[in-house]
A and B are shown apart, each in its own frame.
Chain A
Amino acid sequence: MELKIEVPTTKIKKIKKMVDKELKNNSLNNKLESVKIITRAKGPVCNWKDLEKEIMKGAI
Chain B
Amino acid sequence: MKNKKFIDSNIIFYCSGDIGYRWAVKVAQEVAKNDNDTYTDVFLFQEILDRFYYLNDPDKAEIIYNAVRSLLENTIKVTVADFDKSYELHQKYPNLQPRLLLRVGTMINNNSKKIISTYSADSEEIEEISRINLMEDIKV
Contact = CB atoms under 8 A, between A and B. Distances in A.
Interface of A: 2-7, 12, 15-16, 19, 23, 28-29, 31-32, 34-35, 37-39, 41-48, 51, 54-55
Given A41-B63, A42-B18, A48-B99, A31 B35 contact: yes
Q: How many B residues touch the partner, as a band?
A: 20 to 34
A37 to B, nearest CB: 4
Given A29-B70, A43-B55, A45-B17, A15 B60 contact: yes
Contacts of B139: none
Interface string B12-48: 1111111101000100110111010000000000010
B63 A39 contact: no
Interface of B: 10, 12-19, 21, 25, 28-29, 31-33, 35, 47, 51, 54-57, 59-60, 62-64, 66-68, 70-71, 99
Contacts of A28: 66-67, 70
B54 A51 contact: yes
17 contacts: A4-B56, A5-B57, A7-B57, A15-B63, A19-B62, A28-B70, A29-B70, A31-B35, A34-B32, A35-B29, A35-B32, A37-B63, A41-B63, A41-B64, A42-B18, A44-B17, A48-B99
A38 B55 contact: no
A60 to B, nearest CB: 15
B60 to A, nearest CB: 6
B63 A42 contact: no
B68 A38 contact: yes
